[in-house]
Homo-oligomer: A and B are copies of this chain.
Amino acid sequence: MSEEFLKVARAAREAAAELAPLPRAPKDRALRAVADALVARTAEIVEANAKDVEQAREQGTSEAMIDRLRLDAARVAAVADAVRQVADLPDPVGEVVRGGTLPNGLELRQLRVPLGVIGIIYEGRPNVTVDAAALCLKSGNAVLLRGSSSAYASNTALVRVMQEALEGTEVPAGAVQLVPGRSRDSVKELMRARGLVDVLIPRGGASLINSVVEESTVPVIETGVGNCHVYVDADADLGLAVEILLNAKTQRPSVCNAAETFLVHADVAAAFLPRALAALAEAGVTVHGDERVARHGDVVPATEDDFRAEYLSLDIAAAVVDSLEDAVAHIRRYGSAHTDAIVTRSQQAARRFVALVDSAAVAVNASTRFTDGGEFGFGAEIGISTQKLHARGPMGLPELTSTKWVYTGEGHLRTSEGSVLARPDQG
């Protein structure tokens, strides 16, 4: 491991130990100081960002990507506002998750504690640098940030401003660290830093996430790959189904909770598909349908790859299924276990779909777009976990914590016959 990497990782480790026992008030004060500094030093941040934008333009980056990268005064102000919102959220640390008095009189509590040092690997927008840092600090964690190399100058400026703002607070400045270097080597170092980093959260496309999962010896929380389904049941209200499908596909096609496939029960295919295909075509959506879908309108023939695709565009795969169970089997086979929806008037079908679909979220008569920390009332979200360990679905502040058991006695000893109390010197 390079000296530069070890230096920041060890600094984060030390800061984490200092930060963990802090109660809410000093953490909130520190976050507000960070927000103020971001606004006060907007010019410096925008100037650094201009270098990234210039370089991106020289490299022929698309205007859409450049727009994602760009920071201006309004965007910096929005980033600072988001930090203030995190300061307003309740602190998960110290929450008593379970507790009670054991039969032998030991008082037992399970308390929420910070995870320690969290590594975040991300692409795209530089605002993630600040959002992720704020969520980690609020939950008592130090953070190692590894953003896109295309935003390196912006991220360097943002981290410098945050660290300098923390200098005057009780939160150690070392708790926010940018992983040095633009090369892929620094990602590898982060993935191999077992013992220094407690968890890695990759945020980005499927290829980034898969490579982290494969190579990391640090525990990983997978996020954000969404091949979401809408299943239109035999008992569906077809008007509702068309609108839910359209909303799930088109309201924001580039996000992980957008629908990428719809499945229709054979009994309603003839009634549903002509309406649905017309509505989708009108919304500019290209349908990649199987043979049974193709009987009811113009579609592009679907391949296996279409059913696995996370399009993130105005494309959707479609198939006709013979039963709810076949819909579930399709979802299990091709899905990413993010969010899958059923549209039905049948209580029994809804219950069965919910029981059988093994995904982070299951929606009944609602758009898949609601799987979101903000919609769920978490106030903020670090990502959407599509794995089963530790956290599943939208991750808010409690998902950035672990727990610690504390038991308090008065000289409790364990014997093969049960507990006894030690004899004190002074009664």
A contacts, CB < 8 Å to B:
17, 20-21, 100, 102-103, 106, 108, 110, 113, 115-116, 194, 198-199, 213-214, 217, 219-221, 237-240, 243-244, 247, 251, 332, 350, 354-356, 358-367, 369-371, 375-377, 387-390, 392-394, 402-415, 422-426
Contact = CB atoms under 8 A, between A and B. Distances in A.
B354 A406 contact: yes
Contact of A406 (B221, B364, B394): B364
A240 B407 contact: no
A414 B255 CA distance: 13
Contacts of A106: 366, 370, 375
Given A392-B402, A413-B367, A422-B244, A408 B350 contact: yes
A220 B390 CA distance: 11
Given A332-B17, A387-B219, A406-B364, A411 B359 contact: no
Nearest to A216: B217
Given A403-B392, A404-B392, A358 B240 contact: no
B411 A363 contact: no
15 contacts: A115-B388, A213-B217, A219-B219, A243-B422, A247-B413, A247-B422, A359-B404, A360-B404, A366-B408, A366-B411, A370-B407, A371-B405, A371-B407, A389-B390, A393-B404
**A213, A238, A367, A423 pick with most chain B CB within 10 angstroms:** A367
A214 to B, nearest CB: 6
Given A370-B106, A405-B393, A413-B367, A358 B219 contact: no
A30 B366 CA distance: 37
Contacts of A415: 247, 251
Given A376-B102, A390-B389, A392-B404, A237 B424 contact: yes
A365 B410 contact: yes
Contacts of A413: 243-244, 247, 251, 366-367, 369
A388 B198 contact: yes
Closest 9 CB pairs of A and B: A243-B422, A366-B409, A239-B425, A388-B402, A366-B412, A369-B414, A247-B413, A21-B355, A364-B408
A393 B405 CA distance: 7
Contacts of A370: 106, 407, 409, 412, 414
A364 B107 CA distance: 10
Contacts of A244: 411, 413, 422
B361 A425 contact: no
A297 to B, nearest CB: 19
A334 to B, nearest CB: 13
A406 B415 CA distance: 46
Contacts of A217: 213-214
Contacts of A108: 376
Nearest to A402: B388
A358 B116 contact: yes
Nearest to A387: B219
A110 B408 CA distance: 32
Given A354-B406, A409-B363, A414 B115 contact: no
A354 B394 CA distance: 30
Contacts of A375: 102, 106, 414
Contacts of A365: 408-412
Contact of A389 (B219, B358, B405): B219
B102 A377 contact: yes
Given A198-B388, A219-B220, A237-B424, 11 more contacts: A103-B377, A106-B375, A116-B388, A219-B219, A238-B425, A239-B425, A364-B407, A365-B410, A367-B413, A376-B405, A392-B402
B411 A240 contact: yes
A251 B414 contact: yes
A376 to B, nearest CB: 6
Nearest to A342: B408
Nearest to A377: B102
Nearest to A365: B409
Nearest to A116: B388
